[in-house]
Structure 1
Amino acid sequence: MTAAKINSFVSTLSAPPIPSVIAWGREYNGAMGSLIDLSQAVPGYPTHPDMLRLLGETAAQQALTGYGPIEGEPLLRQTYAAHVSEVYGAKIAASNIHITAGCNQAFMCTAIALAGPGDTVALTNPFYFNHDTTLSMLGIGRRLVDCDPVGGFLPDLGSAEAALAAGAKMLAVVTPNNPTGAVYPPDLLHALFTLCRKYGAWLVVDETYRDFLAEDHGRPHTLLSEQGWEETLVLLYSFSKSFCIPGHRLGAITAGPQLITEVAKVMDNMQICAPRSAQIAVASALPILSGWRAGNRLEIARRAEALKQAVSELPGWEIAALGAYFAFIRHPMANRSSSEVAEKLARERGVICIPGAYFGEGQEQYLRFAFANVDAASIGLLPDRLR
């Protein structure tokens, strides 16, 4: 008898990273105080009462229990298009928006629509691990774009051009970055856009943490004002962090109408439609919770300052990049892998973080801290834990 085989594109992947590091934390005995979880990026403050109220009201509506439009509820598509137009100072229509069940799904739908088995996609190194595993399970090749640690892990334009010249169908970047926190300047994004246009490739920008840019940052970029941007650019977004609703899985794609049509074909086979009640609730929350969201951005900035202070007290430790939700921190144990260091911190010191090696090649000296998860007081405990 011959045993049935599992898809090798899936079976060769490592187990999901977050559960593995949380498992290390379960072995912590509490000797140094409460567990400090800096692993998965989750909002470290409660959901606004009005958001909870809206979710409850919409969940109770019989009209929203059936299937909805594949591209998303018209109300949310219109409301989010108006929001994007305001953020970028560009004219974006509902036809440019596709609502998904979270940003990971947005990336997967986009990747399927733009590339196929045997094609190549360029990712930055370090990369967001779910982008990498998505490509792997789809049989899509990966080419890495170098990011210089000395320059704050910004992608190297020469390396990006080499990847595109070698035939990469798309270049996927995340800004503010996961895992490093690096914020890509508008001129750098424009240069990447120009390269993609030159080689007939797509620039896919994951902006999950866009709402946590510094107050004085200004517009993230001006790419939506470029003539014919629809033929080169795709923007991805998540409502999870800004509205503290990651369990409701809601994201968005901004692209040209032609690509939205192709994404709808993928979505129809993947999920049919994103959660409907959450879509209507978020459409109402977008305008009324803008002040609350701005306050949260300031709170995250305070936590970033607390982390800078904490690491400054630790000889040998160094923040290589920091922004929005994350910091990429260089640890001083040159003879140990990032996994060894992270496991020891979780089991013995009660600090859960992600090994740098989970995010790409040559990242063994780094750990990812999702500092937005915990308050400034808890961050202040880190020097004693990490010494």
Structure 2
Amino acid sequence: MTIARTASTFAPPVMEARRWLKGVSFAPERPLLNVSQAAPVDPPPEPLRCAMAEIVMQDASAHLYGPVLGLPELREEIARQWSRDYRGEVTPEHVAITSGCNQAYCAAIAALCGEGSEVILPSPWYFNHRMWNDMTGVRTVALETGPTLLPDPERAAELITPATRAIVLVSPNNPGGVEYPAALLAAFRDLCRSRGLALILDETYRDFDSREGPAHDLFSDPDWAEVLVQLYSFSKAFRLTGHRIGAVTASVERLAQIERFLDTVTICPTSLGQKAALWGMQNLGSWLAGERAEIIARRRSMEENFATLADKGWRLMGCGAYFGWIEHPFAEASDVLAQRLVRDAGVLLLPGTMFTAPGSEAGRRQLRIAFANVDAAGLSELAARLGALPD
């Protein structure tokens, strides 16, 4: 019996976790602490909303189909800023706009892989990457990252087979929070080049990297387009989550393949969302710097609070961008513990089992905290509740 493509993978984790709330009530003095999802819940900043309202009323093109690969002016702005930020050479012809960064990943895999292809994903991985691989007949090969959460290029080299088409990295990492060193990314670039693979680098959270200056020098390589496929999202930078605008930066030849996918799936990204992203890039640099500073402050708060839990067996393994990746001290598996946390602590988070292969011991022992929508006071309360959780 043939199995449907969608039946070949697991249920969407965030939606699954929300179902754990059914039938559970929370006292007013101890409301639910929701650290399960990494999407901003606040709307775009008011100046951007005002600009969007004007676009809706005054710009008729905001309501029409646009080019499949995106509005030329947005592609030009991304190319300009990427060339500046990464000290390399990126042209508008290297950039395509997608309906969110998830679609950028799907399009990249469609352009690179066929039935039976293999893609190497560091584990723990971003679950939607694994889900898309499953649904397209691409085999996910797990690259275990161990206690540092940093993938090892030498270990990755051992996993490459004739079916391998790409290695996927996410930095700053979802779910682990770690920022991959520039030298590590360069080593993976060199590995992929030597073996004829693509390096897919998801930089959804690049705007919240705690390091100053370029996070890597991949774009300064004059032949970067032979290897690199970079993904990006405007959902986090300007809170445009509902408008679904992302980007993929790659070779002209790969974008020609990606165009076929995009034309078939969505025809074009939403014009209003693209115009909003462009306005944000051109006008909200200072505002975004403030958002970055706040996220970095929350990272420090995470580190400080979990230091107080060390004697209870909790361990913060990785922290950065929107995420903390933690090891818990209990005998039960993380998926069972996560559901108990809802009932006993009023905390909703995601278990490591949602980011790892079935049977993974790391998945059983670890949990993800997404703190994009929780301030320092909330993180302190989170630590208190975790510390008070009975065995």
TM-score range normalised by the length of the shorter chain? over 0.9
1:64 to 59, 62, 70: 62
The residue type paired with residue 375 of structure 2 is D
Query: Which residues of structure 1 form unaligned runs of 5+?
Result: none
- Shift in Å at residue 193 of structure 1? 0.4
Q: Which whole-Å CA distance do the structure 1 matches of 2:184 and 2:218 have between them?
A: 11
Distance (Å, rounded) in 2 between the aligned partners of 1:201 and 1:14? 27
The offset of 1:229, in angstroms, is 1.3
Q: 2:34 is matched by which residue type in structure 1?
A: D
Specify every segment of 5 or more residues in structure 2 that has no aligned partner in the other structure, as ranges.
none
**TM superposition shift of 1:165:** 4.4
Number of positions where the alignment pairs a residue of Structure 1 with one of Structure 2: 379
Match of 1:275 in 2: 270
Number of the residue aligned with 1:347: 343
Residue number in structure 1 paired with 2:51 = 54
Shift of 1:36: 0.9
Q: Tell me: CA distance 1:165–1:191, structure 2 relative to 1, closer, same or farther (3 Å).
A: farther
SS at match of 2:145: strand
The residue number in structure 2 matching 1:92 is 90
Answer yes or no: is 1:37 the counterpart of 2:37: no
Cα distance in 2, alignment partners of residues 9 and 103 from structure 1: 21
Deviations 1:297-345 (A, max 9, x none): 1101111122222222222111011111111000100x21111111111
> What is the distance in 2 between the residues matched to 1:178 and 1:166?
28
Pairing of 1:369-380 with structure 2 (within 5 A): 369-380=369-380
CA drift of 1:44 comes to 5.5
The one-letter amino acid of 2:374's match is V
Letter in structure 1 aligned against 2:113: A
Partner of 1:116: 114
Q: Is the 8 A contact 1:25 1:351 kept in 2?
A: no
Distance in 2, Cα, partners of 1:27 & 1:180: 31
What is the aligned partner in structure 2 of residue 252 from structure 1? 247
Do structure 1's residue 266 and structure 2's residue 264 form an aligned pair?
Answer: no
- Aligned mates of 2:283, 2:40 — CA distance in 1: 19
Name the CA shift for 1:127/1:249 in 2 (closer, same or farther; >3 Å): same
The answer to whether 1:368 aligns with 2:368 is: yes
Q: TM-score, normalization: structure 1?
A: 0.95
Q: Secondary structure at the match of 1:171?
A: strand
- SS across alignment from 1:295: helix
Distance 1:44 1:311 in 2: 25
Equivalent residue for 2:228, pick from 233, 240, 259 = 233
Secondary structure of 1:280 counterpart: helix
Aligned ranges 1:257-336 → 2 under 5 Å:
257-314=252-309, 315-333=312-330, 335-336=331-332
Report if the CA contact (8 A) 2:89-2:222 is conserved: no
Residue 47 of structure 2: SS of its match in structure 1? Answer: helix
Structure-2 separation of matches of 1:305 and 1:54: 34
Partners of 2:160 and 2:9 in 1: CA distance:
26
Could you tell me which amino acid in structure 1 is paired with residue 274 of structure 2? Q
Moved more, 42-51 or 357-366: 42-51
Closer, same or farther: CA 317–166 of 1 in aligned 2, 3 Å = farther
On the 8 A contact 2:61/2:271 being kept in 1, the answer is: no
Greater RCO between the two (CA within 8 Å, min separation 6)? 1
RMSD over equivalenced CA pairs, Å: 1.5
- 1:122 aligned counterpart, secondary structure: strand
- 1:88-111 CA distance string (max 9 Å, x none): 011211101000000000000000
Residues 98-137 of structure 1: pairs in structure 2 closer than 5 A? 98-137=96-135
Using the TM superposition, give the Cα deviation of residue 167 of structure 1 relative to its aligned residue in structure 2, in angstroms: 3.7
1:254-300 Cα shifts (integer Å, max 9, x gaps): 01111111110110001010010111121122121001101111101
Distance 2:241 2:300 in 1: 25
CA–CA separation in structure 2 for the residues paired with 1:6 and 1:269 = 24
Asked if residue 161 in structure 1 is aligned to residue 154 in structure 2, the reply is no
